[in-house]
Amino acid sequence: MTRVFSGIQPTGHLTLGNYLGAMRRWAEVDQHRADSLFCVVDLHALTVDHDPARVRRLSRQTATLLLAAGLDPEVCTVFLQSHVDEHTRLSYLLECVATDGEMRRMIQYKEKAAKERERGGSVRLSLLTYPVLMAADILAYGTDEVPVGEDQAQHVELTRDLAVRFNQRYGHTFTVPRTTLPPVAARVMNLQDPTRKMGKSDDSGVGVVYLLDEPDVVRKKVLRAVTDSGREVVYDRAERPGLANLLDILAACTGGNPESLADVHDSYGSLKKDTAEAVVEVLRPLQARHRELCADPSYVEGVLRDGAEKARALARPTVDTAYRAIGL
Ligand code: ADP
């Protein structure tokens, strides 16, 4: 059976981008067709300035939202990265096949490092090596497919390179995984700045729809989305990024296609209104389930405990093989 692995960082409140780009597909498709693991990658949250209590709280909240989005612990494995030591054990071995040049070329590293420096902070070494830990997350499970949004495709490419290199040098150890992208909304953009992706660690939340935003907050954010001064509704990602983003979001929420949705809207106002309502409807059941789960935190803790146990049992043999292969 195909093995699927994907992760999500507890670095902020989850966004519509996380949901449409990744989580929804995990819940609706991947968990049913593959043997799948979904991980709250809490170690990755330590790569930038962080507050320990907040990371701990967001890790539980992220796991709760994964379950609220429909991940079913009866059919897939949901766990916290830090509960399974195999990730860091394997990461070190992969650091011994990765190069520093490779790490410095990662777009996300360049962007996040620049942001840290702008804030006057220093860049943690773990920010540079983060893609290696991500490679370990994936390779420890013999993963075939990694369903992610477009922003993570470069890191999965690196994972493939490291797996191939390790196998060539030390004998076949790892399955070489591939990325799977969603058909639409692979990159949901910030509503106030459609040249940037909608990210959960954005400082000002006005352009970001969070999964737990109340319906009226969602409406306000979508209605205030930046478009352009034109009038005609056309789908053109390069020239009309704001409009295209709304059409992508509407298409992803309704199962339509962005070009035909452009044809049926004759004003920006009606497009925004329909998009806002579509987002509210998509979030409604998720928010209701989230409220139920919050009433029973011991259930979520139990899911994470069982998930870690299952994950550990799957990862250990691969990581032990890698230790032997590399000479330990
Ligand atoms: P973030 O960038 O919000 O910190 P993560 O790095 O934790 O997100 O990624 C979790 C998943 O959500 C990944 O598969 C990533 O590709 C996806 N994702 C994050 N933001 C977006 C977005 N704006 N559009 C589409 N997918 C996204």
Q: State in Å: Cα 188 to ligand 1 middle.
A: 9
pLDDT number for residue 185:
72
pLDDT number for residue 291:
97
Q: State in Å: Cα 148 to ligand 1 middle.
A: 7
Q: State in Å: Cα 266 to ligand 1 middle.
A: 31
Residues comprising the chain, all counted: 328
Cβ(149) to ligand 1 under 6 A?
yes
Cβ(41) to ligand 1 under 6 A?
no
Instruction: Report the SS3 class of residue 43.
Output: helix
pLDDT number for residue 228:
82
Confirm or reject CATH 3.40.50.620 for domain 3-181+297-326, answering yes or no. Answer: yes
- Dig out the tokens for 321 from the structure: 């093989």
pLDDT tens per residue across span 197-248: 999 877 677 899 999 999 999 999 999 999 988 889 999 999 999 999 999 9
Name the residue ranges covered by the structural domains of the chain. 3-181+297-326, 205-291
The segments of the chain whose pLDDT lies below 50 read none
Query: To which H or E segment does residue 147 belong?
Result: strand 145-147
What are the contacts of 301-306 at 24+ separation with CB within 8 A? 301/60, 303/63, 303/67, 303/73, 303/78, 304/63, 304/78, 304/79, 304/80, 304/83, 305/83, 306/73
The rounded distance, in Å, linking the Cα atoms of 182 and 115 is: 28
Ligand 1: atom nearest CA of 200 is 3
List Cα–Cα distances, 53 to 7, 60, 121, 279, in angstroms: 21, 11, 20, 31
pLDDT number for residue 203:
64
Nearest CA owner, ligand 1 atom 12: 18
**Mutational test site, ligand 1, from 151, 156, 181, 209, max ligand atoms within 8 Å of CB:** 151
Specify the pTM.
0.94
pLDDT number for residue 231:
83
Cβ(152) to ligand 1 under 6 A?
yes
Is 205-291 in the same CATH topology as 3-181+297-326?
no
ipTM for this prediction:
0.96
Q: State in Å: Cα 112 to ligand 1 middle.
A: 14
Ligand 1: atom nearest CA of 186 is 25
pLDDT tens per residue across span 53-89: 999 999 999 999 999 999 999 999 999 999 999 999 9
- The distance in angstroms from the start CA to the end CA of the chain is 31
Cβ(21) to ligand 1 under 6 A?
yes
CA angle 274, 278, 281 (to 5 degrees): 140
Query: To which H or E segment does residue 252 belong?
Result: helix 241-254
Place of tokens 């962007």: 111
pLDDT number for residue 277:
98
Q: Could you say which of 3.90.480.20, 2.40.10.220, 1.10.240.10, 3.40.50.300 is the CATH number of the domain covering 205-291?
A: 1.10.240.10
Cβ(177) to ligand 1 under 6 A?
no
